[in-house]
A and B are shown apart, each in its own frame.
Chain A
Amino acid sequence: MKPWAGLALVAALAGCRTPGPPPLTMLPARACPEAPVLAGTRQLAEARPEQVDIAADAPCIATRAGPALYAAFQLPPRRPAMVEIAGVPQGETLFAPRAMLLDASGRVTREIGPDAFMFRPLGLSALVRLRPEDATLVVTSDPAAAGKRMSRIRTQVQTMVLSAPPMIYYAQDTGSDTRQELMLAHNGRVSVTFRLLAENP
């Protein structure tokens, strides 16, 4: 491929934005159990992000704040380890994440509240160090946060490289300063990554 064609492709891709599903801020009335159903739990593999698109027909659970949609993940037993849990923006829609950890008997041992989630490059993300008893991770939507709007300024610099070896090499930065509008929702994309930690990093 000619270098100019590559440059045009990069520019075109940079200009494209993936539209997301409409944000689901209220759940339709339906009967939700108080405990998650763990049949069909997804198995996590080391360092491989598991992405799930949670839609209105996802399983639901009754929480103190109201009904919530969820996805469950089976954690590998190796420790020390951590998981990164993230709501990933899709267009304007951002899954409003909460999480809970269950032991092998299905008992909830820890809750990861919304204040544990911060923006990282992947999205609204929490890093959680796992304990030996943690067997299952359940990521739920946060009924208290669904419907809230967020507006974030994003400054970005991208480098485009034009090269025609062996004589021509040129790198040009382009900068942008834009506003990102997001709405927290019951639906959207969730990413969970299990990672081993070094014994003594």
Chain B
Amino acid sequence: MRRLADFLCLGLVACLAACGAPPIPFDRGATPTVNTIGVLTPGWPQGPTVHTAAVPMGGFLPVALAAAAAEAARESRFTKVLEAERFDAAGEFRTRLVAAVRARGYQVVEVPATADRGKYLETYPTLPNPPDAWLDCVVPLWGYVAANALDDTPYRPIVGMVCRLVRAGSGTVLMRDTVVYNPLRTQPASGGAVVIAPDPAFAFKTSDILMADPKKAVAGLLAGFDSSAEALGGLLK
């Protein structure tokens, strides 16, 4: 089931980029009244993915079920590895997101929101001093993926993120885009997501090697968070 969920998540990133939510570029020069951005707690999945995309004969149900069980075990083990490292993935990502927005000269107000959501907020908080705009981001998945189950395609970090900038009050969408670090699935050619190639320094031939080097595994994830947040900042210039 988890394998199915991961597949759907991987598909979700592509889908959010492709269906119904084409990117909208931000024109900062034409929007001088946006100076303060309320960065909402990003939507965040329950745990990391450790996904193997292509399993030989994976189209047959018994093979798919066995692969799903193996994947669930890998993810449970990786979650424990990260817990032992006291790795707060959501916190690390949020810190980088805020820093990337601040680096573009905006004032930032961090505003709590539920992280347990797979979509944008439908309504935004009411504050005594509201920001000029809300930055609403959802991370459908993060973790590691290998393109196939053979040893020739290593596990590399993956991060998928959808974000929109919404003017406070009017609700006008000023910017909307998708950023995928290490996109595994082919994205639509036109109007597709920002795609970031993974850092070659973080490649693990097998999941056992990944689990055995937690410090490097965390560093790989942080590289993905850094690049994704930086790309988002670039979209707000």
- CB-nearest residue of chain B relative to A162? B59
Contact of B30 among A115, A129, A157, A173 (CB under 8 A): A129
- Enumerate chain A residues within 8 angstroms of B22, measured Cβ to Cβ: 195
Contact of A177 among B25, B59, B154, B196 (CB under 8 A): B154
Determine if A174 is an interface residue (Cβ-Cβ < 8 Å). yes
Q: Contact size class for A?
A: 35 or more
Q: A174, B189: Cβ atoms under 8 Å? A: no
Q: B25, A82: Cβ atoms under 8 Å? A: yes
Cα distance A121–B17 in the bound complex, in angstroms: 11
- CB-nearest residue of chain A relative to B182? A155
Determine if A122 is an interface residue (Cβ-Cβ < 8 Å). yes
Q: A177, B152: Cβ atoms under 8 Å? A: yes
Cα distance A77–B24 in the bound complex, in angstroms: 18
- Given A129-B26, A173-B54, decide whether A119 and B59 contact each other with a Cβ distance below 8 A: no
Q: B193, A201: Cβ atoms under 8 Å? A: no
Q: A155, B189: Cβ atoms under 8 Å? A: no
Q: A115, B59: Cβ atoms under 8 Å? A: no
Chain B stretch 168-208: residues in CB contact (< 8 A) with chain A: 171-173, 176-177, 182-198, 200
Determine if A116 is an interface residue (Cβ-Cβ < 8 Å). yes
Q: A120, B192: Cβ atoms under 8 Å? A: yes
Q: B191, A195: Cβ atoms under 8 Å? A: yes
- CB-nearest residue of chain A relative to B188? A121
Instruction: Please encode chain B, from 71 to 94, with 1 for each CB lying within 8 Å of some chain A CB and 0 for all others.
Output: 000000000000000000000000
- Enumerate chain A residues within 8 angstroms of B60, measured Cβ to Cβ: 170
The chain B residues found within 8 Å of chain A, CB to CB, are 22-27, 29-30, 53-55, 57-60, 145-148, 152-154, 156, 171-173, 176-177, 182-198, 200, 231, 234, 237
